[in-house]
Amino acid sequence: MRRLTAGVLLVVSVIAGAQSTETSQSTEAATGAAASAAAPILVELFTSEGCSSCPPADELLSKISGKRMPSGRTILTISEHVTYWNHDGWEDPFSSLEATQRQQSYMDRLKVNQEPYTPQMVVDGSAQVAANDRAAVADALKRADQSSSGVVLTLRDVAMDKGSAEIHFELTGDTGKPRKLEVTAFVTDDADQVQVRTGENAHRALTHVTVARAMQRVDLPKATMAGVVRVKLPAKPPMGAESGRHLVVVAQEEDGGPMLAAAARAL
């Protein structure tokens, strides 16, 4: 058995008494008072197979995905592969322009005074940290666990039709002052494996979890609390065996703002 590094142990240790929920994340929003306390913490990892610093962050994501924090909130993760490493000898088969643009939105909103970089984690849309800075990751998780919007996202219905999923969702709870919201639906692979042939990770077998394979955003007008988003279902993974899949739906303030609620369900 491979031993955990001290950095990974540091992050896992902040999840006092952490226990896995399910091997693949399946945190569907509940209803009532308990739902607010159990609202997931969203951790987005911006990564690339062309980046030699990214595999340790991929491993860390796999260790925290689906864990429960002391408050009872579950860590919901998405691995988003960016495109700007693709010129450097290896084209990441999971990279997408949408992931690159989403990261840039966070960089702008959080006023990060540097170019987009990997590996980067964004926690609840409110804090960004270098994903290999384990102390910073642990601190961001602690701070996220101490706050919750009180908003619940419920996936009312998911209809599969002609290679896409149509998701009917509803937000309940106090979203605060009237403001525009955005809701993004992701299709994620539970796990993917790739043998990298060239580039900084040449000759390495890389494993990823909760990999974003498709995403689609809809904007909600002010005071709107329900809607529909349709997302295309991608083909089987470009490399490696196909794993299970999930829909992950995230509601946040416009322009990549703080997260209000999130929910996931198996496909």
Distance CA 19, CA 17 (A): 6
What are the sequence ranges of the domains in the chain? Answer: 6-14+28-266
- Predicted local confidence at residue 39, as pLDDT: 84
Cα three-residue angle 61-165-182, rounded to 5 degrees: 65
Residue-averaged pLDDT of the chain: 87
Local structure of residue 249 (DSSP, 8 states): E
Summarize pLDDT for 110-154 with one digit per residue, the tens: 999 999 999 999 999 999 999 999 999 999 999 999 988 889 999
Query: Which DSSP string do the residues of 97-111 spell out, in sequence order?
Result: HHHHHHHHHHHHHTT
Summarize pLDDT for 251-266 with one digit per residue, the tens: 999 888 999 999 999 9
- Predicted local confidence at residue 108, as pLDDT: 95
- Predicted local confidence at residue 208, as pLDDT: 96
Q: Does position 85 have pLDDT exceeding 60, yes or no?
A: yes
- Predicted local confidence at residue 58, as pLDDT: 98
pTM (2 decimals)?
0.89
Strands (E), 82-238: 120-123, 127-130, 152-161, 164-172, 181-196, 204-220, 226-232
DSSP lists the bridge partners of residue 81 as 47
The two three-digit tokens of residue 181, written as one number: 């919201």
Q: Does position 32 have pLDDT exceeding 60, yes or no?
A: no
The two three-digit tokens of residue 54, written as one number: 């990214």
Q: Which residue has the higher pLDDT, 103 or 12?
A: 103
Query: Which band of pLDDT confidence, cut at 50, 70 and 90, is reported for residue 22?
Result: very low
Q: What does the radius of gyration of the chain's CA atoms come to, in whole angstroms?
A: 17
DSSP lists the bridge partners of residue 230 as 166
Q: Does position 8 have pLDDT exceeding 70, yes or no?
A: no
Distance CA 47, CA 55 (A): 9
